[in-house]
Amino acid sequence: MSTDLSPLLQPFSCKSLKLRNRVAMAPMTRSFSPGNVPNDAVVKYYQRRAEGEIGLIITEGVEINHAGASGFPNVPKIYGEAMTGWKRVVDAVHAAGGQIIPQLWHVGAVRKPETDDAAPAYSPSGLFAPGKKNGVAMTKDDINEVIAAFAESAKQSKEAGFDGVEIHGAHGYLIDQFLWEGTNIRDDEYGGSLENRARFACEIVKAVRAAVGEDFAIVFRFSQWKQQEYEAKLANTPEQLKQLLNLLVDAGVDIFHASTRRFWEPEFEGSDLNLAGWTQKLAGKPAISVGSVGLTEDFISGTFASDKPAVEKSGIDELVKRMANHEFELIAVGRALLQDPQWLQKMRDGKEDEVKAFSKASLKELV
């Protein structure tokens, strides 16, 4: 017997976002944009997810216009000639009834030198991870340049027709490197206390808000875990999390995207709430949850390290229960949608057995 997905299928609104349902496509780096410009294959890739009735598409991370923002080859940028390609993506998604936001990204110290030998890896303290040096510590001029680049990319995104923006503050990339004590050992106003470590993120949010206006939705993605250290935490208690969230809300965040490896895992002892659940409760803002939806293994310990296909229909009852209880307002689906653009339609219509299973081989092409 199939699961009733009606809690996932309700409309959702927040400022410029008017979604037909509460299912989002999670941002996933694909590296299929030669010259950093989205081409026909990328247009059709996103269009197929919109045709599959996904409510909100969050693009792969896109590079802002700053030296060192790029970390990997063939990742699309969000400025210059790439905007023509993105306008085609946006128009295709809108024509299929979906909405779409770009994930604005600066990789910081997490970058491959061969991407651009002329630019250093920028970070708050010249660290890739605790005690591991890479690149240069940012000056205040560097910080101001990055803030301005985020704002300009947000402005160009709005002009291209995107429905909002997501700021990538998770997974150990530049913004997260400022938030995390492990990579931020500065002794100025951008380091030390949580308020100071959050200053860079908050100034980016404020600059983006000034660039796009009050009615344009700003999503902020954050995580406890880092690619440098899976057990890392920005907040060890709900009180610490609330302090961080309040700073970001005051800066102008509308929606939080709380990234976890497994959506069903509780964040703090004494409660079943996951990170998104705690975020929505503490911040008073809508939260997006994410993490191995429809899969048997998370993306670190599971199918990214194996060619064994993942089952695409596990955990759905638990997801529906949490959505029905309004623990969080939206759910982002990653690898399940990467392999099967019709995942939502098949799950909704009781055709779970027709869902195409994700496997590592799926990463080698745009399905």
Instruction: Encode 313-327: b = buried (16+ Cβ within 10 Å), e = exposed.
Output: bbbbeebbebbeeeb
Smallest Cα–Cα separation from 333: which of 62, 56, 102? 56
pLDDT (0 to 100) of residue 115: 62
Bridge partners for 63 per DSSP = 77, 105
In angstroms, what CA-CA distances link 323 with 257, 294, 339, 347? 15, 15, 24, 16
* Structure confidence by residue, pLDDT tens digits, 20-59: 999 999 999 999 999 999 999 999 999 999 999 999 999 9
Contact 46, 57 (CB under 8 A): yes
Other beta carbons less than 10 A from residue 113's beta carbon: 12
Work out the burial of residue 93: count CB atoms within 10 Å of its CB; fewer than 13 is exposed, 13-18 middle, 19 or more buried.
buried
pLDDT (0 to 100) of residue 290: 92
Contact 211, 154 (CB under 8 A): yes
Domain boundaries, given as residue ranges, for the chain:
6-364
Smallest Cα–Cα separation from 279: which of 318, 314, 321, 330? 330
Global confidence as pTM: 0.94
Phi/psi of residue 137, nearest 5 degrees: -75, 135
Contact 191, 123 (CB under 8 A): no
Q: What is the rounded distance in angstroms from the CA atom of residue 262 to the CA atom of residue 264? A: 6
Q: What is the rounded distance in angstroms from the CA atom of residue 163 to the CA atom of residue 44? A: 18
pLDDT (0 to 100) of residue 316: 87
DSSP state of 113: G
pLDDT (0 to 100) of residue 299: 44
* Structure confidence by residue, pLDDT tens digits, 190-210: 999 999 999 999 999 999 999
pLDDT (0 to 100) of residue 119: 85
Please, which residues have CB within 8 angstroms of residue 298's CB and are 6 or more apart in sequence?
261, 262, 291, 292
The low-confidence residues of the chain, meaning pLDDT below 70, are 1, 113-117, 295-314
pLDDT (0 to 100) of residue 266: 87
Bridge partners for 332 per DSSP = 24, 290
pLDDT (0 to 100) of residue 295: 64
| Residues annotated as catalytic (active site), given as ranges | 173
Distance, C-alpha 363 to centroid of its chain: 18
* Structure confidence by residue, pLDDT tens digits, 281-326: 999 999 999 987 876 554 444 444 444 444 444 478 889 999 999 9
Which of 1.20.1250.20, 3.40.50.300, 3.20.20.70, 3.40.50.720 would CATH assign to domain 6-364?
3.20.20.70
Bridge partners for 335 per DSSP = none
